[in-house]
Amino acid sequence: MDPRKYNIYFHTHTISGIITAALLFVIFFAGSFSFFKDDISAWQRGQSVSGGQVDADYNHLLDSLSRNYNLMGRNIDFYFLRQGQGAYVNLSTSQDTTVSKPTAGGSVQRGRGRRAAGEDSAYFLYYFADKKPTTYAEGYDMGEFLYRLHFLAQLNQIPIHIGTPFGYLLAGIVAFLFLFALITGLFLHWDKIKSNFFLFRPWSKWKTVWTDMHTALGVIGFPFQFVFAVTGVVLIVNFALIAPFSKLLYDGDQQKVYEELQYNRTMPVEYTYTPLAEEFDMNAFVARWQETWKDSKISRIYIRNYNDKSMQVGIEAKPDAAVAFAGSGFAIEEIATGKVLSLKSPTADGNYIDGVKSIIYHLHFGDFGGKPLQIVFFVLGLMGCLVIISGIMIWLVARDKNNVPAYKRKFNFWAANFFLAGCLSMLPVTAFAFIMVKLLPEVNQSVIYDVYFYSWLVLGVYLMALRNLVSMNKQVLLLSVVLYAAVPIANGVGSGLWLWTTWKAGAFDIFFIDVLCIVIAAVCAFSYKKVKQQGRPFGVLKTPAKPKREALVKQPL
């Protein structure tokens, strides 16, 4: 490779990597735990769903709603959680103006768990095991927190109005810049990719160790990281990709575009003001379609004009990946006549859109290979974190030289000190949050935010104040050993779910999280031992030694 191209690739790789380093670490770290989102939720709630589909009593849910709302003529939407243990329920105002009338008054911002003020509507989270509704904020858990953190959703609360949520846009920009870092990094090492593929010299000097780690793990994990960068860009900034097509082909009607892409489904039904002759049995309805689509899971249900003669129910399903990797199914049925107005099989009628969407979703969420694949993705995700950390260290070591001016060396050190303190502190803070959600008497979205972000801030500031990267590593690892080892103990004390209890009960999702924390604690203990034996501090902040007094005495002539 000629020097000019090498320099272009090198500087592009370095700049894009440094700019995105901290946020990219957050995305990879939180995203790695997000592969076990359902397991973490079950662990926190103390309710295992690993035994299979939870028995959902829809009739009980509708009866419960009817005690607080007149359901006549309403639209009711169910958006099911991935393992079917619950659903988000959206209850609209009634089409029957004699039942539900919006009152005059202001409105509040819509969002998760919110609804317009003065409207006779509702939006809530419902767990079938508990058989009671809860708001989104009250049902918030660590699984949801880490999942949303991996695309920076918490930053959406920053009042920056640029046409799209700030956190999503920032995550999309980071993913896009990450693509540059990946591709240019591959070009940099292309000439030696064969000879240095497995090269790792842990007993050499630290610069060599960091370089080998960055190169070896980066090249080995390149396919995984590239897939996640591309799918992340598509999933996060799809609005930017869709907008030009909506204006060119759909006259700016983005709603129509999302319908064509099978994200939304409108079911306009004219209200008749005539009650349904027979009571609707939703349990029987869902069971019949679940029997028809045996190798699929129900993902959404749409009810239009509840208990009116015009009532229609739409149902969507996703096929099991082992049966059909790509596909989606839906059916719309007119309840009064039993006539199926529209039908698409989830396993037999896959189309091009199903294929593209399925590839993106399955590759990004790793939900097509069971627990073994999720574990592989988890390890590869953490390898991405190590690549980021080693990249920061290479950048620092390469500039910690005597020929570099002192003020530049200090700036470089403080930049790396800031990055590493913010990144490394996530490891013990996550375990601390796991412990607190088990021991605190009440846990909701606000509590999780306070516990995680305040502890992250305090620990990050403390680590930066150390001004010693080796000491920072040792203290983070030692603290992680203690906290991750304490997670199963907190689960046993807080919920009575000890390791042997969950194993005997077949609650393998809860058991898995406890074992995962023990394994992480063991890895941190091994790493702590190595850092303690071989760690060498940087001398950039040390005050130069004063010359000895004898040397200052002039020699006699």
Instruction: Note the pLDDT tens digit of each residue in 63-109.
Output: 988 888 889 999 999 999 887 788 999 999 888 887 765 444 433 33
What's the pLDDT tens digit per position in 362-419?
888 888 888 899 999 999 889 888 888 888 887 777 777 777 788 888 888 888 889 9
Exposed/middle/buried for 259, CB within 10 Å: 0-12, 13-18, 19+? Answer: middle
Q: Could you tell me the pTM of the whole model? A: 0.85
| Residue 138 in tokens | 């009250």
Give residue 516's pLDDT band: very low, low, confident or very high (50, 70, 90): very high
φ/ψ (deg, to 5) at 127? -95, 125
* Residue 68 near residue 133 (C-beta atoms within 8 A): no
pLDDT reported for residue 209 = 65
Percent of the chain with pLDDT over 70: 83
Percent of the chain with pLDDT over 90: 35
What's the pLDDT tens digit per position in 16-37?
777 788 899 999 999 999 999 9
pLDDT reported for residue 1 = 64
Give residue 244's pLDDT band: very low, low, confident or very high (50, 70, 90): low
Helix (H/G/I), strand (E/B), else coil: 411? helix
Give residue 332's pLDDT band: very low, low, confident or very high (50, 70, 90): very high
pLDDT reported for residue 527 = 87
pLDDT reported for residue 301 = 93
Give residue 284's pLDDT band: very low, low, confident or very high (50, 70, 90): very high
Q: Cα–Cα distance between 371 and 376 in angstroms, integer?
A: 9
What's the pLDDT tens digit per position in 178-230?
888 888 877 776 666 666 655 656 555 656 666 666 777 777 778 888 888 88
Mean pLDDT, to the nearest integer, of 279-306?
A: 91
pLDDT reported for residue 10 = 66
Give me the chain's average pLDDT, please.
Answer: 82
pLDDT reported for residue 547 = 47
φ/ψ (deg, to 5) at 278? -120, 150
Q: Cα–Cα distance between 123 and 439 in angstroms, integer?
A: 29
Name the CA radius of gyration of the chain, rounded: 28
The pLDDT of residue 156 is above 90: no
Pairing of strands 296-304, 76-80: antiparallel
Q: What is the CB neighbour count within 10 angstroms for residue 437?
A: 23
Give residue 426's pLDDT band: very low, low, confident or very high (50, 70, 90): very high
Alpha helix segments (H runs only) across 135-165: 142-149
CA distances from 398 to 210, 403, 464 (A): 11, 11, 21
Q: What is the DSSP letter of 156?
A: G
Residue among 482, 548, 135, 80 at smallest CA distance from 296: 80
Mean pLDDT, to the nearest integer, of 153-162?
A: 84
Residue among 451, 363, 417 at smallest CA distance from 146: 451
Residue 443 contacts by C-beta under 8 Å, 6 or more apart in sequence?
A: 44, 141, 437
∠108-112-117 over CA atoms, to 5°? Answer: 25
pLDDT reported for residue 132 = 83
Mean pLDDT, to the nearest integer, of 466-488?
A: 93
